[in-house]
């Protein structure tokens, strides 16, 4: 299984996220596009970086602003016609993971620490 290293996120903690093959392939395509454009590819370069900030990683405020612009351009809205928040995607992921585990008959209580680690 492939993984993605999330460095120094909330509370300056780092963690590895497991990636399914589809996501890993999309990241690979993205990195190939960066290479074609001769953009930074070193292991110390953030995967999602802000060219307007000299190639530094996004801070939460700037990432949220950029994601809102992207969602609006793609016409992605909630059922109430609002733009989704980044937290909404995180919440949906957690809820869907719990529902999937309940449906599978998994020991959800035993899996909660895994979900907490994954979410950071």
Question: d(Cα 55, Cα 45) in Å, to the nearest integer?
Answer: 8
Question: d(Cα 23, Cα 32) in Å, to the nearest integer?
Answer: 14
108 within 8 A of 102, measured Cβ to Cβ: yes
Does 18 have pLDDT greater than 80? yes
Question: d(Cα 103, Cα 99) in Å, to the nearest integer?
Answer: 6
Q: What is the pLDDT of residue 67?
A: 87
pLDDT digits (tens, 9 = 90+) for 86-118: 888 889 999 999 999 999 999 999 999 989 887
Confidence of residue 5 (pLDDT cuts 50, 70, 90): confident
pLDDT digits (tens, 9 = 90+) for 32-91: 998 998 887 887 787 877 777 777 777 778 888 888 999 999 999 999 999 998 888 889
Tokens, residue 94 = 């957690």
Confidence of residue 4 (pLDDT cuts 50, 70, 90): confident
Confidence of residue 26 (pLDDT cuts 50, 70, 90): very high
Tokens, residue 88 = 């909404």
Q: What is the pLDDT of residue 79?
A: 92
């Amino acid at each position: 299984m492939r993984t993605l290293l999330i460095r120094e996120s909330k509370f300056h903690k780092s963690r590895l996220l497991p990636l399914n093959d589809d996501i890993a392939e999309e990241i690979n395509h993205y990195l190939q596009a960066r290479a074609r454009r001769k953009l930074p590819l070193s292991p110390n370069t953030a995967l999602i970086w802000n060219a307007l900030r000299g190639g530094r990683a996004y801070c939460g405020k700037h990432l949220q602003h950029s994601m809102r612009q992207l969602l609006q351009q793609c016409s992605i809205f909630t059922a109430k016609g609002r733009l989704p928040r980044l937290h909404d995607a995180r919440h949906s992921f957690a809820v869907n993971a719990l529902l999937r585990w309940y449906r599978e008959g998994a020991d959800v209580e035993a899996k909660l620490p895994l979900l907490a680690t994954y979410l950071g």
